[in-house]
């Protein structure tokens, strides 16, 4: 096969700008047919922007793309899908109240040059065949909201295959999946490759990248840095390319000065969710909370801050009983929580950075509807500096920021209320290695000032690297506790699954 025939997608000098940001800068590289091509880089490097350019959601100001040797300039996702390129977004493009089969044919009920309508019987028949071809079986009359995230993702993949996609774009497809679901998805990706489909895959999980990739492209600050065979690069070399500097350590040195008990949880119970939960966290300490997905970790945290009701139990801060009926009570008494889903619970995406950072302080520190503009500006400026938030100004809408910078805004918002205890649920999910390191340093700085951090985490490396002590939750109960010295992947997992792996 000639080099030209071997190439399915080629980018020549692609540039894309947003107000104050050059998202893609003179990008040129190519993607080989029938391969799994991973794109990596820090948050804001331009990865997702490139995907949206391919999918027709964004139009570049400069440069050209060739798909199968022909100019590629789609007018939108629908046309891209019709021509053989389908994108599976991190936020799935589904309608929860519609059935599986309705979602599969959404937008194609009467499509094509002849606008031929698809009747229900034909859609059912075709959908069953596509599922069967991929070795899958679903009740096509189920509503999408009844499926797990992994199953909903599979339906999106089948939808792409049913359009005769030559290329499937996947943006962070595993970020919210369990380990078992990730394994299942990767098996399906390998099957798609065997069928000759090209996969372009964005991920921050480098172990995952090295497991599946034939080729890897690195982006940094909107520029294409390199493309090469995955087998030719080590993890350390790839990270250095991504961040533009050598990273000698994954976690910053931690030398905690742990003080007296700051927060004590006593006899927390919620029928069917968690039972007899007792633990404490000290000043200057990072308490890691581990457990399998569904063990009840997040539910315990939500009950602590009054977001969800509990049946019984008490909270004590510095020996004083706390009365927490809702989130406002929690924040007033010095407990804040960074949610695992920053886009849904942590931010108002259509508001700017200034409003997002200041809103909590406005309500809980100043307790006024209006505060002097100079004070608000000072709070926002100080927090943007402290958390190194990369943006042209505080007037930028948070929806335009990278995932890492969005997470920094969430942290800045809660630090502006000066909490005594910060609960962090999956604090670096979907964030690149460079920004992770920055957040780890911030966590160290917070605890150096006497704050206590409760960190719920599914990332074993991060859990072991940052926790001073680890509490393991299994089936809604405390299964055990490990010191930093005692904690290993084996000891943590043994407690999480039940000692004998039962």
Is residue 310 pLDDT above 60, yes or no? Answer: yes
The DSSP string of 130-168 is HHHHTT----TTSBGGGS-HHHHHHHHHHHHHHTT-SEE
For 400-412, what is each residue's pLDDT tens digit? Answer: 888 888 989 999 9
> Which residue in 271, 269, 177, 275 sits closest to 478, CA to CA?
275
Predicted TM-score (pTM) of the model is 0.68
Is residue 118 pLDDT above 70, yes or no? Answer: no
For 154-190, what is each residue's pLDDT tens digit? Answer: 888 888 888 889 999 999 888 777 778 888 889 989 9
Average pLDDT over residues 73-78: 92
Q: State the burial class of residue 90 (Cβ atoms within 10 Å of its Cβ: 0-12, 13-18, 19+).
A: middle
**Whole-angstrom Cα distance, residue 402 to residue 479?**
37
Kindly indicate the confidence band of residue 501, based on its pLDDT and cuts at 50, 70 and 90.
very low
Residue 16: beta bridge partners? 24
Query: So what's the pLDDT on residue 248?
Result: 66
**Could you confirm whether domain 3-243 is CATH 3.40.50.1820?**
no
Percentage of the chain surpassing pLDDT 70?
A: 92
Average pLDDT over residues 269-274: 95
For 326-365, what is each residue's pLDDT tens digit? Answer: 998 999 999 999 988 887 778 888 899 999 998 877 765 5
The CATH code of the domain at 250-334+420-496 is: 3.40.50.300
| 54's tokens | 């391919």
| 176's tokens | 């919210």
Q: Where in the chain is the domain with CATH 3.40.50.300?
A: 3-243, 250-334+420-496
- Residue 29 makes CB contacts below 8 A (sequence gap 6+) with 10, 11, 217, 224, 227
Percentage of the chain surpassing pLDDT 90?
A: 53
Q: State the burial class of residue 352 (Cβ atoms within 10 Å of its Cβ: 0-12, 13-18, 19+).
A: buried
Average pLDDT over residues 382-391: 89
Q: Residue count of the chain, please give it.
A: 502
Query: So what's the pLDDT on residue 500?
Result: 44
- Residue 78 makes CB contacts below 8 A (sequence gap 6+) with 107, 111
């Amino acid at each position: 096969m000639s080099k030209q025939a071997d190439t399915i997608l080629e980018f020549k000098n692609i540039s894309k700008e947003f107000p104050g940001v050059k998202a893609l800068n003179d990008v040129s590289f190519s993607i080989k047919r029938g391969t799994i091509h991973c794109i990596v880089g820090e948050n804001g490097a331009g990865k997702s922007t490139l995907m949206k350019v391919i999918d027709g959601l964004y139009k570049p100001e400069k440069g050209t793309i060739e798909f199968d040797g022909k100019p590629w300039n789609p007018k939108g996702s629908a046309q891209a899908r019709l021509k053989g390129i389908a994108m599976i977004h991190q936020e799935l493009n589904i309608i929860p109240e519609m059935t599986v089969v309705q979602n599969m044919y959404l937008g194609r009920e009467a499509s094509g040059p002849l606008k031929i309508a698809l009747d229900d019987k034909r859609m059912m028949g075709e959908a069953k065949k596509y599922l069967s071809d991929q070795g899958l079986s679903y009740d096509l009359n189920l509503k999408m909201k009844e499926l797990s995230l992994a199953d909903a993702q599979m339906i999106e993949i089948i939808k792409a295959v049913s359009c005769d996609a030559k290329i499937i774009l996947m943006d962070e497809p595993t970020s919210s999946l369990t380990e078992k679901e990730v394994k299942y998805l990767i098996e399906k990706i390998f099957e798609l490759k065997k069928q000759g489909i090209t996969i372009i895959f964005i991920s921050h999980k480098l172990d995952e990248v090295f497991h599946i990739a034939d080729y890897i492209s690195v982006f940094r600050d909107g520029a294409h840095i390199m493309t090469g065979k995955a087998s030719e690069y080590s993890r350390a070399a790839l990270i250095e390319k991504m961040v533009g500097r050598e990273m000698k350590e994954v976690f910053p040195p931690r030398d905690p000065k742990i003080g007296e008990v700051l927060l004590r949880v006593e006899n927390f119970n919620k029928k069917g969710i968690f039972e007899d939960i007792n633990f404490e966290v000290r000043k200057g300490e990072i308490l890691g909370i581990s457990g399998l997905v569904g063990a009840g970790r997040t539910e315990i945290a939500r009950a602590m801050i009054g977001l969800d009701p509990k049946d019984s139990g008490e909270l004590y801060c510095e020996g004083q009983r706390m009365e927490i009926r809702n989130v406002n009570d929690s924040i007033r008494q010095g407990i804040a929580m960074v949610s695992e889903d920053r886009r849904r619970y942590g931010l108002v995406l259509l508001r700017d950075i200034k409003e997002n950072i200041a809103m909590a302080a406005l309500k809980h520190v100043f307790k006024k509807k209006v505060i002097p503009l100079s004070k608000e500006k000072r709070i926002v400026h100080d927090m943007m500096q402290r958390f190194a938030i990369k943006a042209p100004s505080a007037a930028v809408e948070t929806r335009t920021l990278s995932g890492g910078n969005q997470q920094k805004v969430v942290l800045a918002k809660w630090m502006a209320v000066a909490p005594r205890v910060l609960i962090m649920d999956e604090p670096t999910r979907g964030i690149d290695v460079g920004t992770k390191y920055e957040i780890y340093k911030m966590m160290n700085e917070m605890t150096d000032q006497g704050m206590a951090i409760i960190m719920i985490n599914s990332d074993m490396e991060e859990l072991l690297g940052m926790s001073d002590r680890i509490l393991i939750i299994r089936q809604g109960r405390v299964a055990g506790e490990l010191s930093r010295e005692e904690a290993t992947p084996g000891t943590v997992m043994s407690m999480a699954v039940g000692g004998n792996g039962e």
